[in-house]
Structure 1
């Protein structure tokens, strides 16, 4: 570098000479061309921002290598942190629901649409009667009556199956 060059031209010449070497060194150090390129680019961007100070150092190249390595370490820490977070927040897969009792669901299929809906919301979705009523846009008393009648109808349909007979 010649000390009489304007700072922008001085940086540009230094960048052209040093960037390929820093990029290559970071790529070799990390085994990742993308990370090597990113670390070198970030280091040179910081060098440009602080060029007034960096250009006066005994070894601007040493500073940019150290800065690039810091960028690599920062990236590795961030990746490790993300992986730990993902491992902690990863939910165990939800097992599929138990297969339904085919006789029961054949019997439920014979109910009226209102009764089927009430049965599904109350016993499959496990909603309290008040919420079933709100979901169906009927009174709680209507839900209670519908469920009572549906249970009696199901009992009549399923009684032969429970005794070993087929309906």
Structure 2
């Protein structure tokens, strides 16, 4: 028989893991890395369940952001080596897949704080105050990072062949 912590945690994982995996994917840009990252964070949440029980999703989001930034820092110290021909991804010609790839690639090129801000603010649709709490910064820093991040995304996604318009929505929120 499972204890109440296990049952409550299982329910949290059942109801929120898809959304958290989406955040992890948008932070890392790679499905497998995102799954690993989420697994690490869920282990951390389980160990600290009694302390984070009041807002486990906020805790998990912050842990995802922190761990993705730490992974990014480690990768900067140890350059990745390509696998040669095995590293080539077959091109998919479906418009929505191409657009998704372009957006994920543009997100991947953002600095970690801007990426985390854009993902949490616009893709997770969190209010500025919640993003600030999650990232441990001021609301002004969230607005600044969001503005800079959106500007870089607009620039990256305004190339030929992409008919994507990112509206400047920060002033309307």
TM-score bracket, shorter-length normalisation: 0.3 to 0.5
Larger Rg: 1
How high is the TM-score relative to the length of structure 1? 0.44
How high is the TM-score relative to the length of structure 2? 0.42
The structure, 1 or 2, with the larger RCO (C-alpha pairs under 8 Å, 6+ apart) is: 2
